[in-house]
Chains A and B, each alone.
Chain A
């Protein structure tokens, strides 16, 4: 197993290098002079030149890249053009709200999605299946800003149970996590259902019944464990996606997360922050994929032992 993890970890190195090249090139592909951009619009010519020297922009490109890599490894992400604060500090502040929002959204999404998926897989064609399908389709097609606004209107404005926005006590998580998680839950429900239906037709499920295993055992032991293998992949992908910051939901609920940071930075052309975020998203995806692979190995002995 350790062997397997090491192999997967080694596999992430080329991916991260490729991303770093892309992010590095990003600054050079932008229109205009990067030194002037960093120095700011009011900077004098000497200031621009000094910035150029500071940033090694006058050196050969490969030296710049090596320096850049070195900085990345030491988490020196530069300075925000907008606030003049270190980018690493900005990101660190915004990361935790997004992380916890993601975690709670996914908890809701997995419980609701897998639960509904299995329920409709077991009761294929039954009204429960149809109700779950309706829920799933609405979840996929219902825009999250609209769901968010409706919830604010009901629970905050009319009933006054939950705060309208902001990041604070667990109460502040309820609506954003529900809103964000529901869309994911809908996709998961559809996916789980089809995986479940597919596994139900497998020969070994028939074998289980031929042994006289009660339906409960057929579903939990024989069908679900196998059906969940593809669901793990989807969960990982969605998790990585949400960690990137949910721009719409964070905006609706005034959530101080990475999504809003990204929007603000793009609006202000705060390139060091954008660069750092892209790199962070790539890193997150790579780590989550690694986690998914490990989980895969745990569930599927064929991967673990081969």
Chain B
């Protein structure tokens, strides 16, 4: 008897004109001890399905309209979760079925201690006293490998890092030894190295407890890493289901094929020096030979330093060394990727260039002109030459302005066109990013995430910049859309000779787009060089760690990288008198430099 057997499941949410069905007859099974991955893009219904199994759907406004969710409980009795009462479901949640959610930042109650939040479930379902439950909570924190567990019990969520919080979430989920664990994108919000740690933890705990695991994700790399079986969903329907090895080797449905093709695979350009766009629909791939070496660099940073003071009791308590002596050059037509994990200073570096943060020292040269201070007309020249594309296309467009207005704004600001010429230019820009001229009249909420990011790119292009700083510009997009937007960026580079400073944590995408890579760690560049050299022959231990942590979308290569670092990346916060050492990088190859000095923390 299967642990979970869903058949003919239909779900609906109330809409303006009656209920809207979002799941149209879903069948799937999960055996005890098995990991089933549900994959699909946004809107495929994978998260809603998880909510239906736990019946948290009832609190989210949705309703089960048809079908059966057969669950075999501890006593061996099969229960239909679709028809259980709220109270019966509540007693199942925790001891029988548990969930881990995507956002560790918001999934824990900010005003309760971590210990209390873990102990709560233990007290409820196991009838333990508060003291015994707290002791159990401490044990659980050790199970999820949180160091110094006893002390962590009294801490609040905001005092913990994202990875730590997700471990706490896992501890909560496991607290009553559930027989089915549903993890909804549990590592999407985490850094790669942290993701690798959390995935490994989940896998070993699952083995220990013999749990059934439903793993919901959009990341094929994670699927290959975790799953025994895969269920592929698209728009509320299962399009394909099968054994993970077989499915990756020979996907039968066109959508699965498309998903797998769109996934950037780290190492796929290992023997190719130049970046190359994704292969979409069998079009021939032209490598990106666009760099104009020998020309004046579009961007030249020399010793850029940006620090943030942390004050306590009116005194300087510490400093965040977000960017320490960052020096780099970007040539016309080149993509330089700035990689690293949260807090490494890659975003601050980007923001410092356009003075969204004020650097303490260093020179910033744009197209050969020193724009370190923005006196007179320099600011205008900087704003025109350097444009920014942000991560979240929802938040970076004004919801009350039309797309056309947003794109036209920089044209007006820089006086690049007047009168009807502005509209013509807006339409040309929209076409350039693969949208239609009539999109100009739309508002942001009338467009999809991918379309919105195209709008942001069009807006960036409007001032005819020579450099675009793309800060995680494709991170929030679905795989297939991400591939399209990456290809668009590369196409624009080939046509317009643009240079990109491509800030990203996604190593596989970085391999696709960049000519050169700079790895940042604790505010410093620890390795910089041609992409092929840095990825193929990483010299700095941090670069190696970063590359090893990337999940490989190939289930047959799972055992390949076993030894993982369990340590946390230290914080870039230092005491005021503790100045970091910055030594010149050492050349290890043609244009390939690495830090040999001790940066701090682990390396």
On A, residues with C-beta under 8 Å from B are 3, 7, 202-204, 206-214, 217, 221-222, 225-226, 229, 299-302, 305
Contacts and interface: CB of A to CB of B under 8 A. Distances in A.
Given A212-B90, A300-B111, A301-B156, 11 more contacts: A3-B312, A7-B313, A206-B59, A206-B107, A207-B99, A208-B109, A210-B54, A212-B91, A212-B94, A214-B124, A225-B112
B159 A207 contact: no
A203 B159 CA distance: 18
A299 B56 contact: no
A207 B107 contact: yes
Contacts of B159: 305
A210 B124 contact: no
A206 B313 contact: no
B13 interface: no
Contacts of A226: 109-111
Interface string B414-442: 00000000000000000000000000000
Contact of B56 (A7, A209, A225, A302): A209
A251 to B, nearest CB: 43
Given A203-B101, A203-B103, A302-B156, A209 B110 contact: no
Interface of B: 54, 56, 59-60, 90-95, 98-99, 101, 103, 106-112, 120-121, 124-125, 156, 158-159, 169, 172-173, 175, 312-314
Contact of A206 (B56, B110, B121, B172): B56
Contacts of B175: 211
12 contacts: A7-B313, A203-B103, A203-B107, A206-B59, A207-B109, A210-B98, A211-B93, A211-B175, A212-B95, A212-B121, A226-B109, A302-B110
A305 B108 contact: no
Contact of A207 (B91, B92, B169): B169
A301 B314 CA distance: 20
A202 B108 CA distance: 9
A116 B532 CA distance: 65
Nearest to A6: B313
A202 to B, nearest CB: 7
A233 B254 CA distance: 56
Top 10 closest pairs, chain A to chain B, by CB: A212-B94, A212-B93, A211-B121, A203-B106, A204-B109, A210-B99, A203-B107, A301-B156, A302-B158, A207-B107
A240 B110 CA distance: 29
A186 to B, nearest CB: 27
B573 to A, nearest CB: 13
A208 B173 CA distance: 11
Contacts of B169: 207
B587 to A, nearest CB: 43
Q: Dominant SS at the B interface?
A: mixed
A213 B119 CA distance: 12
Given A210-B56, A212-B94, A212-B95, A222 B156 contact: no
A2 to B, nearest CB: 10
Contacts of A300: 110-111
- Residue of B110, B124, B173 most packed against chain A (CB within 10 A): B110
Contacts of B112: 221-222, 225
A7 B315 CA distance: 12
B121 A213 contact: yes
A229 B156 CA distance: 16
Nearest to A202: B106
Given A206-B56, A207-B101, A207-B172, A214 B90 contact: yes
B60 to A, nearest CB: 8
A46 B90 CA distance: 87
B107 A225 contact: no
Contact of B120 (A206, A213, A301, A305): A213
A206 B109 CA distance: 10
A207 B109 CA distance: 9
Contact of A211 (B60, B94, B158): B94
Contacts of B173: 210
Contacts of A203: 101, 103, 106-107
Contacts of B99: 207, 210
Contacts of B95: 212
Nearest to B118: A211
B91 to A, nearest CB: 6
B180 to A, nearest CB: 12
A20 B99 CA distance: 58
Contacts of B107: 203-204, 206-207
A265 B327 CA distance: 69
A202 B103 CA distance: 11
Contacts of A202: 106
A291 B114 CA distance: 28
A252 B56 CA distance: 53
A158 B60 CA distance: 52
A131 B91 CA distance: 33
Nearest to B122: A211
A207 B108 contact: yes
A203 B184 CA distance: 13
A214 B121 CA distance: 10
A10 B92 CA distance: 53
Contact of A7 (B92, B108, B121, B314): B314
B104 to A, nearest CB: 9
Contact of B93 (A3, A210, A305): A210
A209 B172 contact: no
A189 to B, nearest CB: 23
Nearest to B55: A209
A203 B93 CA distance: 16
B103 A211 contact: no
Nearest to A218: B59
A124 to B, nearest CB: 11
Contacts of A217: 120, 124
A152 B92 CA distance: 57
Contacts of B111: 225-226, 229, 299-301
A211 B110 contact: no
Contact of B124 (A3, A207, A212): A212
Contacts of A299: 111
A281 B60 CA distance: 46
Nearest to A3: B313
A230 to B, nearest CB: 13
A233 B551 CA distance: 47
A1 to B, nearest CB: 12
Nearest to A228: B111
A67 B314 CA distance: 31
A226 B111 CA distance: 7
Given A202-B106, A207-B101, A212 B125 contact: yes
B172 A211 contact: yes
A143 to B, nearest CB: 37
A85 to B, nearest CB: 43
Nearest to A10: B314
Contacts of B124: 211-214, 217
A133 to B, nearest CB: 20
A226 B108 CA distance: 12
A157 B416 CA distance: 78
A43 to B, nearest CB: 51
A232 to B, nearest CB: 12
Contacts of B56: 206, 209-210
- Residue of A3, A208, A210, A226 most packed against chain B (CB within 10 A): A210
A291 to B, nearest CB: 19
A66 B91 CA distance: 70
A43 B401 CA distance: 67
Nearest to A206: B56
A9 to B, nearest CB: 13
A225 B106 CA distance: 16
A221 B111 CA distance: 10
B187 to A, nearest CB: 16
A204 B110 contact: yes
A257 B121 CA distance: 52
Nearest to B314: A7
A216 to B, nearest CB: 11
